Amino acid sequence: MKYSTTKDPDKTAKAYGYELHCSFKDSINLAHAIRGMKLEDAKKYLEDVIVKKRALPAVFHNKKVSHQKGRVGPGSFPQKAAKYMLKTVKNAENNAEYKGFDIENIKISHVSAYCGRVIKGITPRAQGRATNKNKKTTNIEIIVEEVE
């Protein structure tokens, strides 16, 4: 896989979620929220979003998004995107552990989400016509590094 950034491979571990069936907009906000966090903090944050304990602030695509309790402002609980992001974070953790990094001192140095390919589909309509029913996918890439 080609990542959007290059880091020193001796100090970093990578993970890539390819063509995930979740919301691209929610994935962007999740990536913004966990960027720079320690790995354990990011996993705890994503688990809290999944069980609806903490709301995800909507930094991007926040028009007509309702405000949530506790100094969040516009936000939501994107459970499906958080599950896929958590799975990718755990994959990055396993890759770092395999490389011999200390799991306690790992932080997320790069995370990005962008559109994957579109899966074509149609819905039959009256009088022999058809309407597009396409599914959009999301790609997520995470790079973690060990800090001293």
Does residue 4 fall inside a structural domain?
no
The per-residue pLDDT for 148 is 79
User: What is the rounded average pLDDT of the residues 73-85?
Assistant: 93
User: How long, in residues, is the chain?
Assistant: 148
Q: Indicate if the pLDDT at residue 115 is higher than 80.
A: yes
Q: Which domain does 107 fall in, by range?
A: 14-146
Does residue 2 fall inside a structural domain?
no
The pLDDT tens digits of the residues spanning 118-147 come to 999 999 999 999 999 999 999 999 999 999
Q: Indicate yes or no: pTM above 0.85.
A: yes
Burial class (CB in 10 A: 0-12, 13-18, 19+), 4: exposed
- SS3 (DSSP) at 5: coil
Q: How many domains does the chain have?
A: 1
Does residue 7 fall inside a structural domain?
no
The pLDDT tens digits of the residues spanning 29-65 come to 999 999 999 999 999 999 999 999 999 988 898 888 8
CA distance 146 to 74: 33
Q: CATH number for the domain including 23?
A: 3.90.470.10
Q: Tokens 């929610």: give the residue.
A: 26
Does residue 6 fall inside a structural domain?
no
Does residue 40 fall inside a structural domain?
yes
Does residue 8 fall inside a structural domain?
no
**Per-residue confidence band for 66, with pLDDT thresholds at 50, 70 and 90:** confident
CA distance 3 to 140: 10
Does residue 21 fall inside a structural domain?
yes
Does residue 46 fall inside a structural domain?
yes
